[in-house]
Amino acid sequence: MGANTSRPDPEPNVFEADLGSVTVRGRAHRLSAWLVVALRATIGYVFLHTGWAKLTAPEPFDVRSHLVGVSDPSPLVGPTHWLARIEWLHAPVSAAVPWLEFLIGVALLIGLLTRLAALVGGGAMLTSYLGNWGARAGLVDSSFAYLVICLAVAAFGAGRLLGLDALVETAEIEGQAPIERYPVLRYVLG
């Protein structure tokens, strides 16, 4: 009979948060890290694919059609219709959106600037969700699901798991880790 060569389970992650008088506690399963990596890769692919589709489409992406397409009862109908009237804004935003989506996807897939990419992507999904408010049946659609995934990726520090954020955080520059030298990196890495 061979010796047991499996490693002992590491100390499980313990999550705890207070909101008012309610405390939520839980322990993550030892395979939870793989789920976080899968969430990061999935939402990264969604953004990469969406951005690439816009970049390679026969017709260039036009933000104006999305702005004027927002209708009641969306809470964004007023602001989007106002933005649709600002002609000089259409060309730069129309050019930036596909690249932004593509680069968010790349950042999430390689795990670099993960928290920043996930939060910007989540912001895009929030505007999509609110902009399509009256066009769907029910409260939950793919934009809402993607928003929740983006927030989870940002909250769980998914870039530290098989991502470049872990390398950036632990690298030493002149004998000091970048996050010690530039504490603001804590808000964009992870």
Give pTM, 2 decimals: 0.84
Q: Residues 183, 173: contact at Cβ < 8 Å?
A: no
Query: Is residue 55 packed enough to be buried (19+ CB in 10 Å), middle (13-18) or exposed (0-12)?
Result: middle
Rounded distance between C-alpha atoms, residue 39 and residue 42, angstroms = 5
> What does the pLDDT look like over 149-189, one tens digit per residue?
999 999 998 999 999 999 998 888 888 888 888 888 888 89
Tokens of 33: 């890290």
* 183 SS3 class: helix
* Segment 27-84, tens digit of pLDDT: 888 788 899 999 999 999 999 999 999 999 999 999 888 888 787 787 888 888 888 8
Token representation of residue 23: 């405390």
Q: Going by DSSP bridges, is the β-strand pair 22-27/14-19 parallel, antiparallel, or unpaired?
A: antiparallel
